[in-house]
Structure 1
Amino acid sequence: MESLYRVETLLHGLHYYPRTNANRNRVFRSVKVFFSNPRKCQCFDLHDQLVPYKKAWTWQKRIVEEKKALIDRNQDCPDTVILLQHSPVYTMGTGSSEVYLNFDVKDAPFDVYRTERGGEVTYHGPGQLVMYPIINLRNHEMDLHWYLRTLEEVVIRVLSSAFSIKASRLDGLTGVWVGNQKVAAIGIRVSKWITYHGLALNVTTDLTPFSSIVPCGIRDRQVGSIKGLLGDGEHGEVGDLRLIDIAHESLLKEFSEVFQLQIEKQTVSDLDILKAESFKGLE
C-alpha cells in the first residue's frame, strides 16, 4: 500500500509530506519547520478521569469561540489540547445514519449525541483515551487532509514507540489500523480553521458496546484495543491503569513532536476547566 503521508525526523526539525486531494491525485510537498521557537499549547490533562461527553463538548465549543474572537481582534491565541476518558456514550457525526445503530435510539443502552463532527457513529467509554486538539491551523497547515493524516501519525507513533505495535492507515478510511482491527477513530470539525473534536484511542476499552453499532459505518472490519493486541506478550502482565498511563504519556509526547508544540499543563482544580485562569474570559 502506498503511504499517503510520511514524516522524516531531521536534526533540526521535520519534513512533512502531506497529501492534497485535487481530483484524488496524490501530490506531496515538503514543508520544513524548525524547532527553534515552538508554539505553546495549553494542556488540560484529565486522562485519569471520566468526563461526561456533553460537558467536554461544551468546553470545546466555548474554547473555539474564544479563539475565534481573539483572531477577529488580531490577537494571538495559544493552541489547546484536552485529554480525558468519557463515561459510556455513543456519538454520531453531523450526517450519521441511524441505520448503523443496532438499537432503537429512543431506548439506547447509553446516551446518544449527534454532533457536528464528521464520520458515523462510534462509542466512547472507560479505558479509551480521547484527545481533543483545539488548534489554529493557520499556525500549522491550512489543509484538512494534512491534519487528519497528522493525527493518524501521532497514534501510529504511539503504538510503535510505546508498545512495539506496527499500525498503518488504510486507503479511503480515516483512522489507525492494526491488520483488520481499528484501534483509533478520528472525527473532526474545523470552524474558521480552528479544530475541535479529535481522536479516540482504545487502550483497555471494553469493546462489547461496539457490538450495538456498526462502528464508523464499516461493516466488514473489527474494532481492537491496545490491551487486546498485546495479549500475553511483553506487556501482558501490565495492569490496565499502567497501560493507560503509558499510552497517555506517549500521546502527549508524540502530539508535541509531530505538531511541533510545547506542551504546558494547566492546573485544574476541578472538572470544570472553564473556571481555570486561562478561560475566565469565556464566562
Structure 2
Amino acid sequence: MTLGVTHCVAAVPTYPISKRRHKPPRSFSLRILSKSNQVSDLKTQQSTFYSLEPTRECECFNMYKQQVPYSQAWDWQKSIVEDKKTLIERNEHCPDSLFVLQHRPVFTLGTASSEQFLKFDIKDAPFDIYRTERGGEVTYHGPGQIVMYPIMNLRNHKMDLHWYLRSLEEVIIRALSKTFCIKASRLEGLTGVWYGNQKLAAIGIRVKQWITYHGLAVNVNTDLTPFRWIVPCGLQGYQVGSIKGLLEEFQTSAECGIADLPDPDDGQLLDITCRSLIHEFSEVFQVRINYETMSSLDLQAI
C-alpha cells in the first residue's frame, strides 16, 4: 500500500538504523500502584491507580544543528524505509525512528505539484528544486526551520492516517503553547499548524506498507523571504509566520506575560524549540526517546 497526503509536506532525511539487537516490541507495561507508590494487590487496595509507562522505543537522531542537503536526506529516507520493510517481512522488530535537522535552502514539490505556484523561472531558480514522490504542492526549507522526520511503523501505534496527521499537529500545538505561549491551532480542511492567518508549520506524510516518512517543518527564526517566491502549499491568501516573528509581536502586546517568553533574539531559540518538540513527540506518541549518535564517518556525507 502506498498512500500520500495532498497537503504541503516536508522532505524526509534518514539515517542507518543501529545494528544492535532489539528487544521484542511491547506497546505498554501496565503497573498497578498504590498511593504510596508501592506495588500492591488490587484486591486488597482500595486506593489504586493505573500508570501506563511507554516501553515502545524511538531511536532519535537529533542533528538539528546540521544543515543537511536535501538530496542526501532523501537518500537516507528511502534507504531507511526499505530497511524497515525488510524487518517487517522477516517478522522482526521494527523500531520507530525520529530524525531532527535543518535543511540548506531548497524548494520541493510533490508528485503532482503545479509549477504555476512558482513565481520565478524554473530554469533560473534561486535555489535547488526537487520534485519528490510526496503529495502536496511546493514548499521551502532552509536554515532556522526545525524539520522532524518520524519514520514509524503504524502497526505499533494506530493504522489510521488521519489520526497520525492530527497527532503530528498536536505535537507542534503543545510545544508552541507550553514553551512560547503561542495559542496555535488547526484550520478546518487544511493540514498544518496556524496562528490566525499565519502558517507556522507544514505537515505532510507518505506511507508505504504502514511505514510513515516525510514529516513536519516548523519555522523558528527562518528567513521567510523565499516563501514570497512561491505560493506555499498552493494556498492563496494565507501568510507564513515564524516563532520569532510572533515573539517579537508579543513583546509589544499583552498576549502573554513578557517574563514568561524567551527572547526572540536569543541564539538558543532553536535549542528551546527542538527540546520542546522532541518532548511533546514523546508524550503524544507515548514512546521513550533513545538518543543515537552518528559516527564521524557518517557525518562526512553531510
TM-score normalized by structure 2?
0.77
Instruction: Output the CA distance in 1 between the equivalents of 2:67 and 2:226.
Output: 17
Gaps of 5+ in 1: 1-11, 14-32, 276-283
Residue 127 of structure 1 pairs with residue 153 of structure 2: no
Structure index of larger Rg: 2
Residue 269 of structure 1 pairs with residue 295 of structure 2: yes
Partner of 1:152: 169
Q: Would the aligned equivalents of 2:262 and 2:269 in 1 still touch at CA under 8 Å? A: no
1:125-178: per-residue Cα shift (whole Å, max 9, x none)?
Answer: 000000000000011111111111110000000100110000000011100000
Residue 84 of structure 1 pairs with residue 101 of structure 2: yes
Q: State the Cα RMSD in Å.
A: 2.0
Give the secondary-structure state (helix, strand or coil) at the position aligned to 2:53: coil
Partner of 1:185: 202
1:74-127: per-residue Cα shift (whole Å, max 9, x none)?
Answer: 001110000000000001111111010011112110000111112110000000
Residue 56 of structure 1 pairs with residue 73 of structure 2: yes
Question: How many pairs does the alignment contain?
Answer: 245
Q: Would the aligned equivalents of 2:153 and 2:210 in 1 still touch at CA under 8 Å? A: yes
Q: Would the aligned equivalents of 1:169 and 1:175 in 2 still touch at CA under 8 Å? A: yes
Matching residue within 164, 172, 178 for 2:181 = 164
Give the secondary-structure state (helix, strand or coil) at the position aligned to 1:268: coil
Matching residue within 47, 64, 74 for 2:91 = 74
Give the secondary-structure state (helix, strand or coil) at the position aligned to 1:231: helix
Gaps of 5+ in 2: 1-29, 32-49, 252-257
Amino acid at match of 1:247: T
Amino acid at match of 1:228: G
Q: Would the aligned equivalents of 1:71 and 1:77 in 2 still touch at CA under 8 Å? A: yes
Amino acid at match of 1:241: G
Give the secondary-structure state (helix, strand or coil) at the position aligned to 2:60: strand
TM-score normalized by structure 1?
0.82
1:208-234: per-residue Cα shift (whole Å, max 9, x none)?
Answer: 000000000001110000000010623
Shift of 1:240: 4.7
Instruction: Output the CA distance in 1 between the equivalents of 2:290 and 2:217.
Output: 21
Residue 97 of structure 1 pairs with residue 121 of structure 2: no
Q: Would the aligned equivalents of 1:44 and 1:82 in 2 still touch at CA under 8 Å? A: yes
Find runs of 4+ consecutive structure 1 residues off by over 4 angstroms: none
Matching residue within 223, 244, 263 for 2:270 = 244
Partner of 2:228: 211
Residue 231 of structure 1 pairs with residue 248 of structure 2: yes
Instruction: Output the CA distance in 1 between the equivalents of 2:175 and 2:298.
Output: 28
Instruction: Output the CA distance in 2 between the equivalents of 1:273 and 1:264.
Output: 19
Partner of 1:110: 127
Partner of 2:7: none
Instruction: Output the CA distance in 2 between the equivalents of 1:73 and 1:236.
Output: 48
Amino acid at match of 1:199: L
The change in CA–CA distance for 1:271 and 1:53 in structure 2 (over 3 A counts) is farther
Q: Would the aligned equivalents of 2:64 and 2:274 in 1 still touch at CA under 8 Å? A: yes
Identity among equivalent positions (%) equals 65
Residue 260 of structure 1 pairs with residue 286 of structure 2: yes
